[in-house]
Chain A
Amino acid sequence: MDLALFYFLILGFAVFMYVLLDGFDLGIGILYPWFESKSERDHLMRSISHVWDGNETWLVFGGVMLFAAFPAAYAGITSTFYLPIMLMLFALIFRGVAFEYRFKADRSRPYWDLAFSAGSAIAAFCQGILLGSLVQGIPEGSSMIASWHWLTPFTILTGFSVMAGYALMASSYLFMKSRSDIQRRASHLGKNLLICVVLAMLTVSIWTTIASPEIQNRWFENGHFIYLSPLPIISLFLSIGIWKHFTRHQMLSGQSEGKNDSRPFWYSAGLFLTGFIGLVVSLFPYLIPRQLTLWEAAAPDSSLTFLLVGVCLFIPLILAYTLWGYRVFSGKVEDYQEGY
């Protein structure tokens, strides 16, 4: 396999890991307004305070992998999306420090609550904007940096879609990490969010196929759709699975705490995966759609081979200790309440 393609997969993996992991913890911030009491909010924060830092590292990793393996794409994308990226960074700053300060604050706690929830929501929205503008394509030419092409009805839609998706992940994560009242609320929110997410996925898919003939061809020419049909079908089954699990839990009125509480989380992760694969199918092999392919943007072999050792050696190791970290704090939040 050629190196550029390998790094494309690694980059995809990094982005997916980021979306999966920071997705649910940004989502916790988006759900925040639905949990009003201090103890509930404590619970929400505690469910992620030991992992948010690691989760966000995948964002840095995605950034530097793009920088290292595809410098031309990194230069193009980051400078073109100057404002949404900066806005996202400001938002991430606020929510990041809120983790440290909220628990130590007395009078200023409402501000940190706001910093956390607004920061999470804005960061997620900006990521949705970035995603949407990548899909719709960047106008060519040097004036592209100055334009506002990233702010269109479509990108605003994708912005809200990503927020809904993250919130869905968060509600299923919360469902896994809590009991009784909070768990009930999580499943209730989860069902509403699932509807939003399914609608969003449908709208975005239809919109892109109508707006972009290239993407339309990719999906519907030469019987491609037959090979690609598992993606929507699996998504459908996963959505039904999440719905059923939440509904059953509500009917049992929360009596069934136990082994299966993590199931909606894995299902919604699966839903993200199918959406993500669908996106890659639509855009491949472009890093900047219809301008720059992954081969054109790839760094020279001297850089790619040097990095190869590190990638092959350390990514498995990172996954191993990350998993260990999650296992140390497995179970419900109440079970590891001690701070430091």
Chain B
Amino acid sequence: MELDVALLSRIQFAFTVSFHIIFPSITIGLATLIAIWEGLWLKTHNPLYLQLAKFWIKPFAITFGMGVVSGIVLSYEFGTNFSEFSNLVGPILGPLMAYEVLTAFFLEAGFLGVMLFGWQRVSRKMHFFSTITVAIGTWISAFWIIVANSWMQTPTGYKVVEGQYHVASWMEVIFNPSMPYRLTHMLLASMITATFVVAGISAYYLFKRKHVAFAKKGLSMTMWIALALTPLQAYIGDLHGLNVKEHQPIKLAAMEGIWPKQEAEVPLLLFALPNMETEQNDYEIGIPKLGSLILTHTPDGALTGLKSVEPQDRPNVPLVFWSFRVMVGLGFGMIGIAVLALILRKKDRLFENKPFLTLVAAFTPSGVISVLAGWYVVEVGRQPWLVYNLIRTQEVISPLPAERVLFTLIMFVIIYTLLLGVYLYFMRKVIKKGPPSMSTLEQQLIGMKAPGYALAWVKSLKNSEEKA
């Protein structure tokens, strides 16, 4: 079989980017939660908040490290595997990514050292400031990356000069039509992802009756957050969907499994196997008119279907269709859990109901999975275009020998599989070990109050050692 460089490069990018996105989608939210806990501790002096911050900083650090190493790969892969693409759109995407590094990466990295290791080297306020800065850094980073991605989805503000894409208006490039929806959707998704990770682990502790006070605080807080954010996310998702309908109708058609050129009274499909050969859905089960109602807000509203474009201009329909259902399904599951938590809370059973705790623990990775599914909808749905309606993915691949890409792809699969295993192993280890005990925290607090004292003591020890 002839190896196809284009396909291999695409698989490699899809694989490396999917692996990467797992980690930032956790750390953006987790950094924010840690900053909130540290702030609450400074304000209330309730040591439970310090315990929460001090425990979750460990999973955060592991996750952040994974994000860093897998992110560096991506910043080079544009050039290595898609050299023609980076040449064509470099004048637009390059500066956006440079701004990401200038305003976010350095900020995160610069204050991360103090956040992780500086508890006894700087004042409490300075430490809190560092934690906040790291959290803000993750948000800014998300902003720029979403700007770049949104521009590839809904490109505006450019002009073509000798085949290269130049900027006509930076305002239009940055605030392109889909950016606000995409950014809000993604930031909320990250907050929810981290929320369910914390909730899941807290529920696990409660189920095992370990670290009870700590876990109660964690579960209670995250369930309030989930109650606020998950319905909001559904609302934002709906707005985002309307935006997709306007700017990328074919993607929407793939999400909903709509085949005719124009279809009115579109059903909401609960199950279907979209068939790209026969251009229709097999085994369709749907609720009549509900699709139209959701997307056009009238029961007989018409939507554009996949057949309005040639087969070679359509994305992989089953993949988009099913990814979308996974994302939405998990989203509703999370809303359900938040509501269930409220009901149990009213009955004062939130921390005792074992089936509920099991359910929450099972939902630990739900945020990560729905983020991944969501990105497949976004990215696969845009195909065969790399920049929507402008640049075809197929045309901008580096002319590499296929064996080399195959080699690196295999390496990535091996290395990343190994890393994921290791990541999960160490996460398990950290979780098993549990939060630092109150007495440990107390000792560390004394150290924090008198950093000079501790330092002088270590120094004097060392000096006497050397003299002896």
Contact of A67 among B62, B71, B90, B400 (CB under 8 A): B90
Is A226 an interface position by the 8 A CB rule? no
Cα A83 to Cα B71 in complex, Å, equals 18
On whether the beta carbons of A69 and B113 are closer than 8 Å, the reply is no
On whether the beta carbons of A68 and B90 are closer than 8 Å, the reply is yes
On whether the beta carbons of B166 and A300 are closer than 8 Å, the reply is yes
Q: Inside 8 A of A278's CB, which chain B residues have their CB?
A: none
In the assembled complex, the CB of A51 is this many whole angstroms from the nearest CB of chain B, namely 6
Chain A residue with the shortest CB-CB distance to B126: A328
Chain A residue with the shortest CB-CB distance to B100: A64
Is A157 an interface position by the 8 A CB rule? no
Is A290 an interface position by the 8 A CB rule? no
Is A134 an interface position by the 8 A CB rule? no
Cα A83 to Cα B415 in complex, Å, equals 16
On whether the beta carbons of A302 and B426 are closer than 8 Å, the reply is no
Q: Inside 8 A of B459's CB, which chain A residues have their CB?
A: 335
Cα A335 to Cα B384 in complex, Å, equals 57
On whether the beta carbons of A53 and B98 are closer than 8 Å, the reply is no
In the assembled complex, the CB of B162 is this many whole angstroms from the nearest CB of chain A, namely 10
On whether the beta carbons of B399 and A329 are closer than 8 Å, the reply is no
Cα A257 to Cα B463 in complex, Å, equals 10
Cα A142 to Cα B84 in complex, Å, equals 12
Q: Inside 8 A of A81's CB, which chain B residues have their CB?
A: 80
Chain A residue with the shortest CB-CB distance to B112: A53
On whether the beta carbons of B65 and A100 are closer than 8 Å, the reply is yes
Residue-wise interface mask of A (186-219) relative to B, using a CB-CB cutoff of 8 A (1 in contact, 0 not): 0000000000000000000000000000000000
Chain B residue with the shortest CB-CB distance to A319: B106
Contact of B72 among A76, A89, A337 (CB under 8 A): A89
Is A334 an interface position by the 8 A CB rule? yes
On whether the beta carbons of B109 and A57 are closer than 8 Å, the reply is yes
Q: Inside 8 A of A325's CB, which chain B residues have their CB?
A: 110-111, 113-114
On whether the beta carbons of B106 and A67 are closer than 8 Å, the reply is no
In the assembled complex, the CB of A49 is this many whole angstroms from the nearest CB of chain B, namely 7
Cα A99 to Cα B65 in complex, Å, equals 8
Q: Which of B239-255 contact A (CB under 8 A)?
A: none
On whether the beta carbons of B90 and A318 are closer than 8 Å, the reply is no
Chain B residue with the shortest CB-CB distance to A111: B422
**Of listed A68, A74, A311, A336, residue having the most chain B CB within 10 A:** A68
Q: Inside 8 A of A334's CB, which chain B residues have their CB?
A: 458, 462
Listed stretches A90-98, A158-166, A269-277; interface member: A90-98
**Of listed B73, B76, B118, residue having the most chain A CB within 10 A:** B76
> Contacts A60-B101, A101-B422, A325-B110 hold; do A79 and B83 have CB atoms under 8 A apart?
yes
Q: Inside 8 A of B83's CB, which chain A residues have their CB?
A: 75-76, 78-79
In the assembled complex, the CB of B154 is this many whole angstroms from the nearest CB of chain A, namely 20
Q: Inside 8 A of B114's CB, which chain A residues have their CB?
A: 50, 325, 328
Q: Which of B379-401 contact A (CB under 8 A)?
A: 398-401
Contact of B111 among A69, A97, A321, A336 (CB under 8 A): A321
Is A25 an interface position by the 8 A CB rule? no
> Contacts A75-B90, A180-B466, A311-B102 hold; do A60 and B65 have CB atoms under 8 A apart?
no
Residue-wise interface mask of A (25-60) relative to B, using a CB-CB cutoff of 8 A (1 in contact, 0 not): 000000000000000000000000111011011011
Is A131 an interface position by the 8 A CB rule? no
Is B68 an interface position by the 8 A CB rule? yes
Cα A307 to Cα B91 in complex, Å, equals 10
A-B contact count (CB 8 A): 249
Q: Inside 8 A of A332's CB, which chain B residues have their CB?
A: 462
Q: Inside 8 A of B62's CB, which chain A residues have their CB?
A: 100-101, 104
Q: Inside 8 A of A92's CB, which chain B residues have their CB?
A: 69, 72
Q: Which of A306-323 contact B (CB under 8 A)?
A: 306-307, 310-311, 314-315, 318, 321-322
Q: Which of A78-117 contact B (CB under 8 A)?
A: 78-79, 81-83, 85-86, 89-90, 92-94, 96-97, 99-101, 104-105
Q: Inside 8 A of B122's CB, which chain A residues have their CB?
A: 328
On whether the beta carbons of B119 and A338 are closer than 8 Å, the reply is yes
In the assembled complex, the CB of A247 is this many whole angstroms from the nearest CB of chain B, namely 21
> Contacts A328-B122, A336-B121, A340-B57 hold; do A179 and B466 have CB atoms under 8 A apart?
yes
In the assembled complex, the CB of B96 is this many whole angstroms from the nearest CB of chain A, namely 8
On whether the beta carbons of B113 and A50 are closer than 8 Å, the reply is yes
On whether the beta carbons of B458 and A306 are closer than 8 Å, the reply is no
By size class, the interface of chain A is 35 or more
In the assembled complex, the CB of A92 is this many whole angstroms from the nearest CB of chain B, namely 6
Is A237 an interface position by the 8 A CB rule? no
Cα A339 to Cα B72 in complex, Å, equals 25
Q: Inside 8 A of B110's CB, which chain A residues have their CB?
A: 54, 318, 321-322, 324-325
Q: Which of B76-125 contact A (CB under 8 A)?
A: 76, 78-81, 83-84, 86-87, 89-95, 97-103, 105-107, 109-122
Cα A79 to Cα B398 in complex, Å, equals 7
Is A65 an interface position by the 8 A CB rule? yes
Cα A146 to Cα B402 in complex, Å, equals 10
Contact of B95 among A79, A96, A306, A338 (CB under 8 A): A306
Chain B residue with the shortest CB-CB distance to A59: B72
Q: Inside 8 A of B97's CB, which chain A residues have their CB?
A: 64, 67-68
In the assembled complex, the CB of B425 is this many whole angstroms from the nearest CB of chain A, namely 9
On whether the beta carbons of A78 and B76 are closer than 8 Å, the reply is yes
Is B235 an interface position by the 8 A CB rule? no
Residue-wise interface mask of B (315-338) relative to A, using a CB-CB cutoff of 8 A (1 in contact, 0 not): 000000000000000000000000
Chain B residue with the shortest CB-CB distance to A78: B79
> Contacts A75-B90, A145-B400, A310-B103 hold; do A67 and B419 have CB atoms under 8 A apart?
no
On whether the beta carbons of A68 and B57 are closer than 8 Å, the reply is no
In the assembled complex, the CB of B160 is this many whole angstroms from the nearest CB of chain A, namely 11
Residue-wise interface mask of B (343-361) relative to A, using a CB-CB cutoff of 8 A (1 in contact, 0 not): 0000000000000000000
On whether the beta carbons of A82 and B106 are closer than 8 Å, the reply is no
| 30 interchain pairs, CB-CB under 8 A | A54-B106, A60-B101, A61-B106, A64-B75, A64-B101, A67-B79, A67-B94, A71-B87, A71-B89, A71-B91, A72-B87, A79-B79, A82-B398, A82-B400, A83-B404, A85-B80, A96-B72, A105-B426, A303-B90, A303-B95, A306-B95, A307-B95, A311-B102, A318-B102, A324-B110, A336-B121, A338-B444, A340-B115, A340-B116, A340-B119
Closest 6 CB pairs of A and B: A71-B90, A78-B79, A68-B94, A50-B113, A79-B83, A96-B69
16 further contact pairs, Cβ within 8 A, besides A72-B90, A75-B86: A51-B113, A53-B68, A63-B76, A68-B97, A71-B89, A74-B87, A92-B72, A254-B466, A302-B91, A302-B167, A307-B95, A321-B111, A322-B106, A335-B455, A336-B121, A338-B444
Q: What residues make up the interface of B, taking CB atoms closer than 8 Å to A?
A: 54, 57-58, 61-62, 65-66, 68-73, 75-76, 78-81, 83-84, 86-87, 89-95, 97-103, 105-107, 109-122, 161, 164, 166-168, 170, 398-401, 404, 408, 411, 415, 419, 422, 426, 429-430, 444, 447, 455, 458-459, 462, 465-466
